A and B are shown apart, each in its own frame.
Chain A
Amino acid sequence: MQRVYPKFCIFVCYLFGLNTINGTITGFHLLALGGLRFNTMREEMGKEQDKLISKVTSGEYKYGFYTDIDLDIIPKGLNEDVIKQISAKKQEPDWMLEFRLKAYKAWLGKKMPEWAHLNIPEINYQDIVYYAAPKQKATMKSLDEVDPLLLDTFNKLGIPLEEQKRLTGVAVDAVMDSVSVKTTFKETLAELGIIFCSFSEAVREHPDLVKKYMGTVVPYTDNYFAALNSAVFSDGSFCYIPKGVRCPMELSTYFRINAAHTGQFERTLIVAEDDSYVSYLEGCTAPMRDEHQLHAAIVEIIVEKNAEVKYSTVQNWYPGDKEGKGGVFNFVTKRGICRGENSKISWAQVETGSAITWKYPSCILRGDNSTGEFYSVAVTNNHQQADTGTKMIHIGKNTRSIIVSKGISAGKSQNSYRGLVKMLKNASNARNFSQCDSLLLGDECGAHTFPYIEVDNQTSIVEHEATTSKIGEDQIFYCNQRGISNEDAVRLIVNGYAKEVLNKLPMEFAVEAQKLLEISLEGSVG
C-alpha cells in the first residue's frame, strides 16, 4: 500500500528504564501524556488522483424501508411526566422509576459533550418521541401471535424470527423502536440456566439481578447521553450466563428504528459469572428519512473470574443521503468490566452507518491477569462523521489490552480514532499495544487520530503504532492490468486492509460485514 504519510510512532513507556535514567528511586509516579494529540492528520491527496477517485457513492442503503404499523406512542417531548408514562407502560417497579427520575435530574444538569471531533447540529430534545411501540398483545405464547407485519419486517432485514429458519446457533432478541418484538431460543437457553430476554422482561422477571448490576459499569451520572438513556430507555436485551456455562449459541440483538421522529434508547446488560463464556452480536438499521434520528444506547458488561465475553457490533444505521441530509445520530456508551482474575472482554465492531457516531466501547481491567481487546473498522463516506475508539483502564496486575483500529474515509467524511490507555498505580506489568490505521479514498475526506496515554505505574508497557495510507493509483492499475475492474480492486484492497478485524467477528457475520463494507464504499472510486 502506498504510504503517503507513514506516521509511524511507537511509544514504549518503559518506565522502569526511565526511572533508572533519571536516577531517582521514588517520586516518579506519573507519565501523563493525556490530552496530547500525537498525530492529527488531515491528508490531502494529489490532484492526479482526482480523475480516478471522483465519483462519490452511488451505493443505495438497502434497509431504508418503513413498516406501516399501528403504534402505541407517547407524544413528543421530555419531562418527568413522560418518564412516568414510559415506566407505567412498562409496568415497572417503583425503584426503576426512581432510577429514571434521578437520571433525568442528572441529565438536566449536564451539558452536551463538545470535545469530540464532530460537528453536531443542535438537537431539540422536546421534538423527539421517546416511546413508540408496535401495537401487539402484551404477552405472547407463540410466534403466531406476533403481528405478521412485524415478522415480515424482520424477514426483509434478513432476521427471520421463526426459530427453524434462523441460522443454527444464533438466538435473537429483535427490538423495534421502544420494545422487544420477540426473543428466540429462550427456552433452549433456559435449560442451561442462561437468561436471554428483553430488558423490560428482565426488570419484571429478574428484578434482583437487574438491580444488582444495572448502572454499576455505566452510572447514570457518567455522561450526557448515558444520563439521557438512563432516564428514558425503553428496551434492549438482558443476558445472564451462570457459573461454568459456555453459551452454546451466539446471542444477538437486532435493533430497528421504524417510527418517525422517534429516538431509540436501549440498554443492554450482560453478566458472565465465573468460568462462563458468551459471544454476543448486535446489528442495527433504520428507515431512510430526511430528519435526523437519535440513538443513545448503553451497553454494560460484567465479567467475573475466568469468564469471557465477546461483543461484536455490525452498525448500519441509516447514514443520511449523499448531501448529508438525514441519518441517525449514534451516541452510545459501551463499557465492560473484567471484575474477576483471568477474565476477558473482546469488542469487535464494524461501523458503516449513522450520520454521526460517538462511541468508545471500553474495558475496565480490574481483575489481575484480565484482558481487554478492541477491534474496529469504521467506514465513513459522503458527509458521515465518526469519532470512535476505546478506553482501556488497567487496574489489576498483569492486565493486557490490545487495540486495533482501522478507519476508512471516503467522500467528504471525517473519521477520527480517539482512545485512552490508562495504567493505574497498582497495574504492575500491565501491557498495551495499540495500532491505529487510516485509509483514505479521495481528497476531501479527513482521518484523525487522538490517542491519549496515561501511565501511573513504572512497570507497564504501552506501545502505539499508527499509519495513514491511501489507495494508490498504482495499486488500482496493477489490479486493472490483471483484469480486475476499479470497483473490484477497491473491494479487494479495502477487505485486505480490514481483514485483521473482520477475522475477529463470528463467521456468519464476518461475511455480512464484508458485504456491508462493499456496499458502503460502492461508487467511491470511479
Chain B
Amino acid sequence: MLQIVNLKVEIEGKEILKGISLNVKKGEIHAIMGPNGSGKSTLASVLAGKDFGDITEGKITYMGKNLLEMAAEDRSKEGIFLGFQYPTEIPGVSMVNFMKTALNEHRKYRGLEPLSSSDFLKLMREKKDLVKIESGLTNRSVNEGFSGGEKKRNEIFQMAILEPKLAILDETDSGLDIDALRIVANGVNQLKTPENATIVITHYQRLLDYIIPDVVHVLYDGKIVKTGGKELAVELEKKGYDWIKKDVDIVSYG
C-alpha cells in the first residue's frame, strides 16, 4: 500500500529525515516510536502533503501512485488520513458543516452524489456511537474550546466518517488520560479492517497496550534505527531511548 524509499527531507537547510524506508501493507498496524525531535511528526506531515521543507531525495508510492505529486486534498480523497497532534481550531465553522463539506468532496472524487443533510446526520449518529463521542461536540465549531482529550476524540470521529485506507495518527495519545486513551484506542480498533492500514506515531509504549502493532519502528535522528515486532515497544519502554541512542551513536562514531 505504501512504500517509502530513502526519503530525505530538509527544513531551512537542516536535514530532518535522513533516508527513511518503510513498507506498509494493507491490514497492518505500524508503530513509529522515537524520542522528541527524531522526525516523527515531519514524516507524518510529509505523508499528508503539508507544504513545508524540501524533499531532497527518495520517493513515496501510495497505491501504485507517486504520492509526492499529489495535492494534500487529493491525498485525503485517495484515502490518507492524518490524525493531528495539535488539531486546529476553526471558529464559526460547525463540525457538522465541516465534515459534511469534507465527506461530500470525497464522494464527488469517487463519482458519488453528495449526501443529503438528513443522511449525513444519520451517518454522524452511527459514527458517534462507534467511537463513543458525546453528541455535544459535533454541534460546536471545529475544535473551538475543545479540551485536549476532546480534540483527539474528534480526530478519531472524523476518521470514522471518512473511512481512510491509510490512517496516520500523530501522537494521538499525548495529553490523554487513561479513559480517553481507551476510547481513542477503541475507536481505532473498531475502524480496523483487513483492507486498511494504520501508522501510529507515539512517544510512549502505553498506547500500544490498546492498539497492538504488527511492526514497530524506532526513529532516531531522522533514521529508522530498529524495526521489530510488538515486543520491541516493550523493550524500549523498559530500557528507555538512551539504549537506542547509545547503540546508534556507537555505530555512527565507532
A contact residues vs B (CB 8 Å cutoff): 1-2, 51-52, 472, 474-475, 477-485, 488, 492-493, 495-500
Asked if A493 and B93 sit within 8 Å, CB to CB, the answer is yes
Asked if B92 and A481 sit within 8 Å, CB to CB, the answer is no
* Contacting residues, chain B, for A475 (C-beta < 8 A): 88-90
How far is it, in angstroms, between the C-alpha of A1 and the C-alpha of B82 when the chains are bound? 20
The contact of A492 among B89, B90, B158, by CB within 8 Å, is B90
Question: Closest approach, in angstroms, between the C-beta of A496 and any C-beta of chain B?
Answer: 3
Asked if A483 and B106 sit within 8 Å, CB to CB, the answer is yes
With A52-B51, A488-B101, A488-B105 in contact, do A480 and B141 touch (Cβ < 8 Å)?
no
Asked if B90 and A478 sit within 8 Å, CB to CB, the answer is yes
- Among B71, B73, B102, chain A packs the most CB atoms within 10 A around the CB of B73
How far is it, in angstroms, between the C-alpha of A356 and the C-alpha of B51 when the chains are bound? 36
Q: What are 21 pairs between A and B in contact, CB < 8 Å?
A: A1-B89, A2-B88, A474-B88, A475-B90, A478-B88, A479-B73, A479-B102, A480-B49, A480-B71, A480-B76, A481-B73, A481-B81, A482-B99, A482-B105, A483-B73, A483-B105, A488-B105, A492-B97, A493-B92, A496-B94, A497-B91
B243 CB within 8 Å of chain A: no
How far is it, in angstroms, between the C-alpha of A482 and the C-alpha of B97 when the chains are bound? 13
With A483-B77, A496-B141 in contact, do A478 and B84 touch (Cβ < 8 Å)?
yes
* Contacting residues, chain A, for B142 (C-beta < 8 A): 478
Q: Which residue of A lies closest to B103 (CB)?
A: A483
Residues 74-133 of B at the A interface (beta carbon under 8 Å):
75-77, 81-82, 84, 87-94, 97-99, 101-103, 105-106, 109
How far is it, in angstroms, between the C-alpha of A499 and the C-alpha of B90 when the chains are bound? 13
Question: Closest approach, in angstroms, between the C-beta of A192 and any C-beta of chain B?
Answer: 37
Question: Closest approach, in angstroms, between the C-beta of A276 and any C-beta of chain B?
Answer: 34
Q: Which residue of A lies closest to B101 (CB)?
A: A484
Asked if B84 and A500 sit within 8 Å, CB to CB, the answer is no
Asked if B93 and A495 sit within 8 Å, CB to CB, the answer is yes
B234 CB within 8 Å of chain A: no
The contact of B82 among A52, A472, A481, by CB within 8 Å, is A481
How far is it, in angstroms, between the C-alpha of A188 and the C-alpha of B25 when the chains are bound? 72
B218 CB within 8 Å of chain A: no
Asked if A482 and B90 sit within 8 Å, CB to CB, the answer is no
Query: Using an 8 Å CB-CB cutoff, how does the interface string of B157-195 with A read, 1 for contact, 0 for none?
Result: 010001000000000000000000000000000000000
Question: Closest approach, in angstroms, between the C-beta of B145 and any C-beta of chain A?
Answer: 12
Asked if B76 and A1 sit within 8 Å, CB to CB, the answer is no
B245 CB within 8 Å of chain A: no
Question: Closest approach, in angstroms, between the C-beta of A31 and any C-beta of chain B?
Answer: 33
Asked if B93 and A492 sit within 8 Å, CB to CB, the answer is yes
